[in-house]
Amino acid sequence: MRLPLEWLHEYCRPALDTSALADRLDLTGTKVEAILRHGVGSPDAFVVGRVVEAAGHPDADRLSVCRVDVGGGELAQIVCGAPNVAAGQTVAVARPGAVMPDGSELGRATLRGVESEGMILAEDELGIGTDHSGIVVLDGEADGVAPGTPLVEVLAIATDVLELEITPNRPDCLGVYGVGREVHAATGAPLQPPPWADDPGSEGPVEGVQVVVEDPELCPRFTARLFEDVSIGPSPPWLKARLMAAGQRPINNVVDITNYVMLLTAQPLHAFDFDRVVEGRLLVRAARAGDQVETLDGEVRTLHPGSVVIDDGDGPTSIAGIMGGARSEVSPATTRVLMEAATWNGPNIKRTSVRMGLRSEASARFEKQLQPESTLEAQAVAARLMVELCGARLAPGTVDVGGAGPPPARIPLRERRVSELLGAEIPRARSAEILDSLGFGVDETQGALEAAVPHWRRVDVYREVDLVEEVARIDGFDRLPATLPSRPDAGGRLEPVQRAGRRIEDLLAGAGVLQVAGWSFQAPDVGDRLRLGPDDPRRRTVRMRNPLSEDQSEMRPLLLGSLLDAARHNAARDVDDLRLFEIGAVYLAGDGEL
């Protein structure tokens, strides 16, 4: 997952630089694979400008010569080739010296005999979108912003991005807010309220919409809301910028909203053109032999029995949890949108994805088993954006088949048990503080803590030891002392054979002999190459049932083969002063099963 820090900082802004934040997340179990940079090289030479005059170029029909107010009373002359440039626009301007997203530095230029003191920018030239058909017009984003204002105060034109490896038990961290919660717990930085706290939607049936779920085990919850008077168009620059930084290509405002909400909340959504949903009815069922769906990528796919499909009155229209269908996709003519947010059976989605060779951002989240409560969280964010960005009208009611999940499990946490498992005393108040910061409900009962597990941790936190792990990783595994288990037989003494092996290693290493660690596997012809006799017991090898290759299909019965392989590898690279040794396991075939 790509996490733009500009987006993270809307919800949690720790007092750490990017490298220090990456280190802190690593220590708490959220692995940072890489630190990336998205957007322009440095935002210093990018400003908000206002086009004062736009006149035709004297020697080029497709160019305009613009006079642009760039602040400080300065009018810069800029030659622009965009067809949509006009006087009165508020625009994004790069001044000479600006470093563009591709690393090139902008200088003064002369275009067809006219000097240009910068560039009025299209969205692809800022890295906030893919469109190059015209310049970015900031009339909405920059209301009341004076010319010369740094552009970074209006648009996210530059941000560090953390590339995270999220473990299968933490699908909540596949959303920006979920990682923000982790950062809050790990650093103590304040956490803003969740973006779904204000829900403009309402309960009750939605007129004209019917949803039937045949198998609740495959679809524990299915929610839908209807939006009318929808205007399809491009998304605003701020939304495009965040999608691009997170690795998503902007498409149109409705599709972009579904992707934005998924990246923020970790809950995927799907937008149906409701006028193309035959009979206004959706049926969620297990696929039958011969079912086919034309997916959004234009491919006609045959479904395996047991996969989950969404039907309308004309048959299959979507592969549940993986990809929508072309027949009901949103188009420029769409005016009514049915927004779906559902919970699917994670293992089923994983099997279907693997069988079909079709993996999507949605399936990557669903296969980790999202929880039913996440559906209405995503619907709340999507509803607000649909009204704000699409001019849509939210119809009364919410289709909700299945409902919320079970009530929170309540797990006791004893201070004594924490110290026994960790080998260190962690005060009860500190444990309570950590669990509260992670979203657990915490109460004190009879000298112990009792934690109510939030829905997003329902699958992986269900025992006291799980709570101990949460306390330890946030307080800091690196702070725990090195201790031996409290057992009477835990003396830590080496066996005589182990002591002899250590002594041999020390002697050989002291004499300048290099230790190697060879493969435990070998090729079938090693015995022939070593000229072992036909009756040599080392010719009776243990054969692998599922070898990685024929050259690694037997367990080695002696170390000489791997030593000679290492010697050959070095000799082929002109290393002739070579002395090697190896201490390792060998495998001799017996008469019975292993």
Rounded mean pLDDT, 278-285: 95
Please say if the pLDDT value at position 592 is more than 80.
no
* DSSP string across 239-287: HHHHHHHTT-----HHHHHHHHHHHHHS---EEEEGGGSGGGEEEEEE-
Secondary structure of 329-344 in the HEC alphabet? CCCCCCCCEEEEEEEC
Range in 22-26, 224-228, 279-283, 590-594 with the lowest mean pLDDT: 590-594
Residue 439 and residue 373: Cα distance in Å, rounded?
14
Rounded mean pLDDT, 535-564: 90
Residue 544 and residue 521: Cα distance in Å, rounded?
9
Give the position of tokens 């009901």: 328
Sequence-distant (6+) residues with CB within 8 A of 23 are none
Rounded mean pLDDT, 211-215: 95
| Per-residue pLDDT at 139 | 74
Sequence-distant (6+) residues with CB within 8 A of 338 are 209, 224, 225, 226, 227, 271, 272, 273, 274, 277
Please say if the pLDDT value at position 382 is more than 70.
yes
At 466-477, the pLDDT tens digits run 999 999 999 998
Contact (Cβ atoms closer than 8 angstroms) between residue 117 and residue 45 = no
Rounded mean pLDDT, 499-518: 91
Please say if the pLDDT value at position 506 is more than 90.
yes
* Distance between start and end Cα atoms, the chain: 42
Please say if the pLDDT value at position 126 is more than 90.
yes
* DSSP string across 31-73: EEEEEEEEE-S-GGGEEEEEEEEEEEETTEEEEEEEEEE-STT
Residue 364 CB coordination number (10 Å):
18
| C-alpha distances in Å from residue 370, one per residue of 268, 297, 341, 343, 500 | 10, 25, 11, 6, 53
3-state secondary structure (DSSP) of residue 19: helix
Residue 342 and residue 379: Cα distance in Å, rounded?
10
Contact (Cβ atoms closer than 8 angstroms) between residue 16 and residue 36 = no
Rounded mean pLDDT, 161-182: 96
In the chain, where the domains are located: 2-40+158-187, 43-153, 210-401, 410-479, 496-581
- Residues paired with residue 272 on neighbouring β-strands, in sequence order: 338
Please say if the pLDDT value at position 383 is more than 90.
yes
Rounded mean pLDDT, 186-192: 96
At 554-580, the pLDDT tens digits run 999 999 999 998 998 888 888 878 899
Question: Which residues of 457-515 form beta strands (DSSP E)?
Answer: 514-515
Give the position of tokens 């030479």: 45
Tokens representing 483 are 């201790």
| Per-residue pLDDT at 347 | 93
Buried b (16+ CB within 10 A) or exposed e, 341-357: bbbbbbebbbebbeebe
What is the domain class of 496-581 according to CATH? Answer: alpha beta
Please say if the pLDDT value at position 594 is more than 80.
no
Q: Which pLDDT band holds residue 369 (cuts at 50, 70, 90)?
A: very high
| Per-residue pLDDT at 357 | 87
- More confidently predicted of 482 and 396: 396
| C-alpha distances in Å from residue 73, one per residue of 107, 150, 412 | 21, 15, 67
Residue 270 CB coordination number (10 Å):
25
| Per-residue pLDDT at 245 | 95
Give the DSSP letter of residue 403: -
Please say if the pLDDT value at position 498 is more than 80.
yes
Give the position of tokens 């149906």: 272
| Per-residue pLDDT at 487 | 64
Residue 221 and residue 397: Cα distance in Å, rounded?
16
| Per-residue pLDDT at 486 | 64
Tell which CATH architecture fits domain 210-401.
3-Layer(bba) Sandwich (3.50)
At 301-332, the pLDDT tens digits run 999 898 999 999 899 999 999 999 999 999 99
Residue 197 CB coordination number (10 Å):
10
Topology of domain 2-40+158-187 in CATH is Phenylalanyl-tRNA Synthetase; Chain B, domain 1 (3.30.56)
| Per-residue pLDDT at 590 | 79
Rounded mean pLDDT, 487-506: 82
Q: How many CA atoms lie within 13 A of 442 on its CB side?
A: 20
Secondary structure of 245-258 in the HEC alphabet? HCCCCCCCHHHHHH
Q: Do domains 43-153 and 496-581 have the same CATH topology?
A: no
Q: Which pLDDT band holds residue 297 (cuts at 50, 70, 90)?
A: confident
Topology of domain 410-479 in CATH is Phenylalanyl-tRNA Synthetase; Chain B, domain 1 (3.30.56)
Rounded mean pLDDT, 384-412: 96
CATH, domain 43-153, list 3.40.50.300, 1.20.1260.10, 2.40.50.140, 3.40.50.11540: 2.40.50.140
Q: Which pLDDT band holds residue 187 (cuts at 50, 70, 90)?
A: very high
Helix axes 253-265, 237-245, angle to 10 degrees: 50
Q: How many CA atoms lie within 13 A of 263 on its CB side?
A: 22
Q: How many CA atoms lie within 13 A of 29 on its CB side?
A: 18
Rounded mean pLDDT, 287-308: 90
At 127-158, the pLDDT tens digits run 999 989 999 998 777 777 899 999 999 999 99
State percent of the chain over pLDDT 90.
79
Computed over every residue of the chain, the mean pLDDT equals: 92
Q: Which pLDDT band holds residue 494 (cuts at 50, 70, 90)?
A: confident
Please say if the pLDDT value at position 89 is more than 60.
yes
Residue 393 and residue 263: Cα distance in Å, rounded?
24
| Per-residue pLDDT at 298 | 87
